[in-house]
Amino acid sequence: MVGRKRKSRKKKRRSGGARFLLTASLLIAAVAGGAAWLVLSPFGSAEETFVEVPAGSSSARIGQKLEAAGVVRSRYAFELLRLCKRGTLRAGEYRFDHPAPATEVYARIARGDVFTKSVTIPEGANLFDVASRLEQAGLGARKDFLDAAAGQTALVADLDPGARSLEGYLFPDTYYLARKATPAEICATMVRRFRVVAGQLGLTGNVHAAVTLASLVERETAVDTERPLVASVFQNRLAKGMPLMTDPAVIYGLELEGRWRGVIYRTDLKFDTAYNTYLHKGLPPSPIANPGARSLRAALEPAKTDFLYFVAAGANPQGHSLFSRTLDEQNRNVAGYRSAAKRAGGR
Residue stretches of the chain with pLDDT short of 50: 30-31, 315-317, 346-347
Distances (CA, A) of 257 to 70, 143, 212: 51, 15, 19
Whether the Cβ atoms of residue 241 and residue 258 lie closer than 8 Å to each other: no
Tens digit of each residue's pLDDT (9 = 90 or more) over 122-137: 999 999 999 999 999 9
| Rounded CA separation 227/299 (Å) | 8
Q: b/e string for 192-213 if b means 16 or more Cβ within 10 A?
A: ebbbebbeebebeeebbebbbb
The pLDDT score that the predictor gives to residue 30 is: 46
Tens digit of each residue's pLDDT (9 = 90 or more) over 38-67: 666 788 788 899 999 999 999 899 999 999
Q: Model's pTM, two decimal places? A: 0.81
| Rounded CA separation 325/327 (Å) | 7
All domains of the chain, ordered by start, with CATH? 49-111 (3.30.1490.480), 117-201 (no CATH), 207-346 (no CATH)
Distances (CA, A) of 30 to 16, 33, 55, 218, 221: 21, 5, 36, 69, 72
| Rounded CA separation 206/165 (Å) | 17
The pLDDT score that the predictor gives to residue 3 is: 52
